[in-house]
Amino acid sequence: MKKLTVLFLSLFVLQACNDDPKDDKAILQPSSGNINNLSVIVENDLWNGEVGEVIRRLFAAPVDGLPQEEPLFSMNQMPPEAFTGFVRKNRLFLSIQEGKEADVQVANDPFARPQTGIFVTGENREEIIAQLEKHADSIIKALKATEIKEKQRRIQKSLKDDAKLEKDLGVSLKFPTAYRYAKEGDDFFWIRKDITNGSMEILVYEVPVNTIQKDTNIIGNIMAMRDSIGKKHIPGPLDGTYMITEEAYAPYIFESEIDGKFAWETKGTWEVKGAFMAGPFLNYAVFDEKNDRFVILEGFAFAPSARKRDNMQELEAILKSARIK
């Protein structure tokens, strides 16, 4: 069976979209497009049939950990003949072609930079669907990595000073000047940004290793840690209220990596005990073996009745920029 193949700019990639090689330019222009916007290049009859249904099911699936359903990617479809000129600068695209050998290929910067193009081919619709189903996870991972890198690039343009964070906790973090320090001290940092009708929040602190690894119930230990931190540091709007992990639903937990170090990645919903406030959170418990601790990096958002997918991706991009000294 063929493995997912990573390609760099090549004549093959250009021909895969039926382009004239004379259109190729030595210097690629900057890509464009909103974060998490995926262009789907496919014939209209395929899009309106079972192939389109599978594409929408896989790539517009609900994002894990959000309180309301929001799609992984916002998609716009166009037939191959429309994929020309400025449209080819879109940062993410998925190209579907029928009548070719079954395959999936990932192209880096085929028409612009940065850009990730996914080429899926099959002799018939059944083969195309089989390739999409088989490689969906790898495709999504490649697309999401591109968007995180792009968000980090944009954040780099105007960075907040993190010297105190690095001095007190040995953690450097790249976040924009739009954020401010809401609380600092006692090896605990609360960083926040105001948004329309809400806010985006970052927490950075450390806990002893046995806080999380005291037994096999990792998710339970992380929830208990979050709740204790919320009670101590994150008050609600009324006296005696504070942030906790939503009790009705267990968070998602994954194995991840930050700065080359193992991390538990937890996604779920926070709420305020004793008040009607809630929202999504993303937590990384990073194992810092040299210092016998877990460094906790968390982002959460409060934006009632608003979409939060892109807010949470910004927080993810910031947390993944962490470097532990």
pLDDT of 185: 83
Give percent of the chain with pLDDT exceeding 90. Answer: 86
Site of tokens 């992380």 = 222
The answer to whether residues 193 and 130 belong to one domain is no
pLDDT digits (tens, 9 = 90+) for 225-247: 999 999 999 999 999 999 999 97
The answer to whether residues 226 and 261 belong to one domain is yes
pLDDT digits (tens, 9 = 90+) for 108-123: 999 999 999 999 999 9
User: What end-to-end distance do the CA atoms of the chain give, in Å?
Assistant: 43
Greater confidence (274 vs 209) lies with 209
The answer to whether residues 76 and 186 belong to one domain is no
pLDDT of 247: 79
Q: Which residues form the domain of 267? A: 163-324
The yes-or-no verdict on residue 5 having pLDDT over 60 is no
The answer to whether residues 129 and 218 belong to one domain is no
Q: 96, 127, 155 — which closes off a domain?
A: 155
- Taking the whole predicted model, whether its pTM rises above 0.95 is answered as no
The answer to whether residues 53 and 100 belong to one domain is yes
> Residue 227's closest CA among 198, 197, 207, 256?
207
The answer to whether residues 317 and 168 belong to one domain is yes
DSSP per-residue codes, 281-303: EEEEEEEEGGGTEEEEEEEEEE-
| Number of domains observed in the structure of the chain | 2
The answer to whether residues 150 and 34 belong to one domain is yes
The answer to whether residues 151 and 234 belong to one domain is no
CATH number of 167's domain:
3.40.1000.10
